[in-house]
Amino acid sequence: MALTYNEGGCSSYVPKQPRNDDPTARKVRENQNEGGTDSFARQGVQALLGSGVSPFDLRVGGRFTGDLARALQAALTEAAGTISRMPAHHMTFPNGGPVLPSTPHTPPRLRTGVLELDAATLWGWGELLVPRHLWQALGRFTCWIEPALITEWLRLIRGYAINQDRQLDPSVLATATSWSEPSRDVALPRSLALRLLESGNPLHCVWTGKRLQAGSLDIDHCLPWSAWPCGDLWNLVPADRAVNQQAKRDRLPAEGLLQIARGPILGWWQAAYLQGEALPRRFVEEARASLPGLAGEAGLPPCLRRCSRLWACSVCGCAMTSKCQSGPGERAWMRQPVPNQTCQATLLSVL
């Protein structure tokens, strides 16, 4: 679906289906002859789908080796090329300028058989610029835009199948459009916390300072899961079970409490996540991907001083201006913000 712009706003139109002698139709057949069973799913994508990898494993900071690394590298190269040649090229303003300017780069090569999804690697495929006003509009109206896009995708795929004399299994389409709900996974930080306890290191609740034991340990989402389902390492902190399940629950911590908890949280990051090689890289890349204020940092070395920058990030003001609860025992917690307002939320600035 292409977009056109006028003084009244944005309208959409659907391009005509290609004829059999149309260059687009010929390109579809060429792609299929190259091994792909679908117009835009070529060999790399097919290999990635056949690997059985979970979509939740394809996250920023992930590290892949062997055949999976090669399949992912090929799939990303194909996807970047398709985006650059098609929507980025054909979507234009009335004056002919591109709506989504793109700058493709030469795809990065696998020099050691390892592919790490860090910022430097991802930049290797190029860049696509989205106008700020368009990005904001897409974020505000996503609950209407997403189902419209899925419906249009289904219509388009069925049209391609008719033109190619192919039969589509409705169950396959239903599976392809089913939403993969994120799941809470705190196994890694919990195992790290238990390892610290077993080695004799003290572990404290970041909110109360209470010393924790294995039986009282909970892993808390600093920004609550109900508001923003973020399982990044920086958002997972140790807390007393009673505090997490009875007092904090799905509330945001107030600014005053974050000021008090700053030291314990930074200490937890240092002790649990910033040791060794793999975890510090994952920690930094997840933080840079989730927290807008870190996007322009040249690097975040695994040390306590630089990690404090996370606490000085720019904040999505509409997400973090809820008034503090003043009820008994609830002074430190804030009401849960509207979920749509927290998609770009970061930790409160307390420095």
Sign of CA dihedral 172, 177, 178, 183: positive
CA distance 121 to 62: 11
Q: Are 316 and 341 in contact (CB under 8 A)?
A: yes
Contacts of residue 32, defined as CB under 8 A and 6 or more positions apart, other chains included, come to: 39
Say what the pLDDT of residue 333 is.
60
CA-based torsion, 283, 286, 289, 293: positive or negative: negative
Per-residue model confidence as pLDDT tens for the chain (351 residues): 233 333 333 333 333 333 444 444 444 444 444 444 445 678 888 898 888 887 777 877 788 989 999 999 999 999 999 999 988 999 999 888 899 999 989 888 887 888 988 878 888 999 999 999 998 998 889 889 988 988 998 998 889 889 988 888 888 888 878 776 777 889 999 999 999 999 999 999 999 999 999 999 999 999 898 888 888 999 999 999 999 999 898 888 887 888 889 889 999 999 999 888 778 888 888 887 777 656 544 444 444 334 444 444 433 333 333 333 333 344 456 554 433 333 333 343 332
Q: How far is CA 6 from CA 12, 34, 141, in A?
A: 11, 40, 19
**Residues 188-214 pLDDT 10s:** 999 999 999 999 999 999 999 999 999
279-312 pLDDT, tens digit per residue, is 888 888 888 777 765 654 444 444 433 444 444 4
The b/e string for 220-259 (b: 16+ C-beta within 10 A; e otherwise) is bbbbbeebbebbbbbbbbbbbeebbeebbeebbbbeebbe
Q: Within 10 Å of residue 124's Cβ, how many Cβ atoms?
A: 16
Would you state the pLDDT for residue 272? 94
209: left (phi over 0), alpha (psi -120 to 50) or beta: left
DSSP 47-87: HHHHTT--GGGS-TT-EEEHHHHHHHHHHHHHHHHHHHHTH
State residue 216's pLDDT score. 95
pLDDT for the residue numbered 283 = 87
- Longest Cα pair distance anywhere in the chain, in angstroms? 74
Closest among 258, 216, 219 to 238, alpha carbons compared: 219
> Residue 277: what pLDDT?
75
Q: What is the pLDDT of residue 273?
A: 92
Domain range summary for the chain, segments of one domain joined by +? 2-140, 187-342
